[in-house]
Amino acid sequence: MFLRAIARPLMAGVKQTTGIVGLDVVPNAREVLISLYSKTLKEIQAVPPDEGYRKAVESFTKHRLTVCREEEDWEAIEKRLGCGQVEELIEEARDELKLIEKMIEWDPWGVPDDYECEVIENDAPVPKHVPLHRPGPLPEEFYSTLEKLQLNSKEAPPAVTSGESKAV
Amino acid sequence: MDNQFIFKYSWETLPKKWVKKMERSEHGNRLDTNSDYLFQLLCFLKLHTYTRVQVSIDICGVDYPSRKRRFEVIYNLLSTRYNSRIRVQISADEVTRISPVVSLFPSAGRWEREVWDMFGVSSINHPDLRRISTDYGFEGHPLRKDLPLSGYVEVRYDDPEKRVVSEPIEMTQEFRYFDFASPWEQRSDG
């Protein structure tokens, strides 16, 4: 028991397995994550600054980057972010980089003048015997990103008001 | 409950050009888009960190004969990371060609073949577009509303020719249509 108490700080350094098939353990996960996030922050500069996409990506990437820089241990990173394992984070960061590259190539920014979009809020109650799909709890930084997005969009006048469609 | 947050988030982050209509309901969130932006939208949903939809559950079609663009191709997607489902819909007519999403979701190969077979909505540059559920020489697309329920041909084994032949359909009983307003027997005197 005392042996484990002494050895625990050392034991936390090595991860045996991720528990997910096909996802190997990355021993230097922290460095990989820091490099990926810094690259993401550089790449996202190519997106126009008003876009919700850019704000969202910057917000959560910065948060994750600060957490990764502060914490030395992968276990501490995982616990603080609450977003799953570091290998999953690496995968997400790589996918996000791919996505940014593709978005820059497709260039879908800007709202066309005659844009009208119908947002339907259907609150019709579902009958009780039908099983509802209840998504699980989302990570905390999702909510903080969402708040930042909504704050920013409320400052500028929104193009469409939700609940009604804007006829041209 | 969490449907709302994911809905709001996707509303804020998706480029506005791609989204024609969005619906948030307990029955399932829905996103309507244009066929030009389909591949890009699905790529975004697959790769973005907060909407990791990596599984395509189903691709199906619906035929609305009264509309000008009569078919609607519906992509049902699932995010295993966030346990959320989303439906992406596209309207198409008989000659529209949809971009295949097989490179994003490998399971989509069979679904797209089925949509082609049942409705006639084909894809550009699809790696393998063949019929999947109908018979080998079948003409027509079964799930369109203008193909009758019993079809046009029937097959039978012909003994003199020693093979299966298809002949125009012969029904011994005409099609019976039941339309009872009440489950009880109709009484004319009430």
Cβ–Cβ contact B122 with A under 8 A: no
Query: pLDDT digit string (tens) for B16-50?
Result: 777 777 777 767 778 888 778 888 888 998 998 88
Cβ–Cβ contact A37 with B under 8 A: no
Chain B residues touching residue A33 (CB < 8 angstroms): none
State residue B57 phi and psi, 5-degree precision: -80, -45
- pLDDT for the residue B127: 80
Which of A95, A120, A126 lies nearest to residue B26, judging by beta carbons?
Answer: A126
- CB–CB contact B25 A123 (8 Å): yes
Continuous segment of H or E residues that includes residue B59: strand B55-63
d(C-alpha B82, C-alpha A137), whole Å: 8
Cβ–Cβ contact B28 with A under 8 A: yes
Q: Residue A163: pLDDT band by 50, 70, 90 thresholds?
A: very low
The mean pLDDT value for A57-72 works out to 88
- pLDDT for the residue B190: 44
Cβ–Cβ contact B87 with A under 8 A: no
Which of B9, B48, B85 lies nearest to residue A96, judging by beta carbons?
Answer: B48
Q: Residue A166: pLDDT band by 50, 70, 90 thresholds?
A: very low
d(C-alpha B175, C-alpha A138), whole Å: 54
Higher-scoring residue by pLDDT: B62, A160: B62
* Spatial CB neighbours of A58, under 8 Å, sequence gap ≥ 6: A41, A44
The range of the structural domain enclosing residue A56 comes to 32-110
* Within a domain: A39: yes
* Within a domain: A42: yes
- pLDDT for the residue A37: 92
Which of B1, B23, B49 lies nearest to residue A92, judging by beta carbons?
Answer: B49
Query: pLDDT digit string (tens) for A132-157?
Result: 777 677 777 788 888 887 777 665 43
Q: Is the pLDDT of residue A39 over 90?
A: yes
* Within a domain: A124: no
* Within a domain: A54: yes
Window 67-86 of A: residues touching B by CB (8 A cutoff) are 84
Domain count of the fold of chain A: 1
* Within a domain: A85: yes
- pLDDT for the residue A162: 36
* Within a domain: A75: yes
The mean pLDDT value for A53-69 works out to 88
* Within a domain: A161: no
For residues A145 and A59, the answer to whether their CB atoms sit within 8 Å is: yes
Which of A88, A95, A132 lies nearest to residue B26, judging by beta carbons?
Answer: A132
Question: Phi-psi bin for A101: left (phi > 0), alpha (psi -120 to 50), beta?
Answer: alpha
Spans of chain B below 70 pLDDT: 1-3, 26, 180, 185-190
* Within a domain: A25: no
Cβ–Cβ contact B138 with A under 8 A: no
Whether the ipTM is more than 0.85: the answer is no
- CB–CB contact A136 B12 (8 Å): no
